[in-house]
A = this chain, B = another copy of it.
């Protein structure tokens, strides 16, 4: 496992961690000043008609792009809705390329609004991902499938476990240049009794490693994530397992915390991230 001591240049801040309260130029400046080497922005922070300005600001701050967040849900009630999602995600892939992001994170979508057929939903999502391959390859961008906590299966993601993500990577392998991988987020997978076995299988597919913590008394599973060290996840073991399979990307902090970290001074949050990454990850 890599030694992260003093190596914030190997770490990434996902802008969600700071609560999306400032323009990307200002965020990039803060993240760089705190010593981090990477930043992962979200689509609503970027003017997708003119991403060059944001790209230039991030470069000027001395940061690299960790990735780009995230796809529109690929599930929809009808074929027109699914085509629309594909088109929107094609644009996101192009923007990821213009920003210089190595991958677009995919939150694949839950059940379609009027469906309770998870099997059919997963099939539609797989078809949607497959349809993105030509754009991914043309742009030199990968799609990082992110399994989301099973809590979100109905409304956000029918991709729920790391094992399933690896299965999907294998199913989506058409023999062409690799364009699909996995974003592994500790928050979504820490509970999984099959986690070690799945990480071992995931090795060559891992594109991203997201960290935060699961608070023991979590009541709001969406916006009450903990800072590393404040919860129950063994983040060091998770990173060791990922790196043992060959993962060498940045360790990315992504914390959704409406009532706590999003209310704090962004520079203080970044300082805490820095300290906790080195102590707990």
Contacts and interface: CB of A to CB of B under 8 A. Distances in A.
Interface stretch (A59-67, A91-99, A110-118): A110-118
A36 to B, nearest CB: 26
B194 A116 contact: no
A202 to B, nearest CB: 15
A2 interface: no
SS class, residues of chain A in contact with chain B: loop
B191 A118 contact: yes
A149 B116 CA distance: 18
A233 B119 CA distance: 12
Contact of A160 (B192, B216, B219, B231): B192
A218 B149 contact: no
A117 B234 contact: yes
Interface in A148-200: 149-151, 153-155, 158-161, 163-164, 190-194
Given A150-B192, A151-B221, A192-B160, A216 B118 contact: no
Interface residues of A, number: 33
A214 B154 contact: yes
A210 interface: no
A143 to B, nearest CB: 19
A193 B122 contact: yes
A69 B195 CA distance: 30
Contacts of A116: 231-234
A190 B117 CA distance: 11
14 contacts: A116-B231, A116-B233, A118-B193, A118-B234, A150-B192, A151-B151, A151-B221, A154-B231, A155-B216, A158-B193, A160-B193, A161-B194, A163-B194, A164-B194
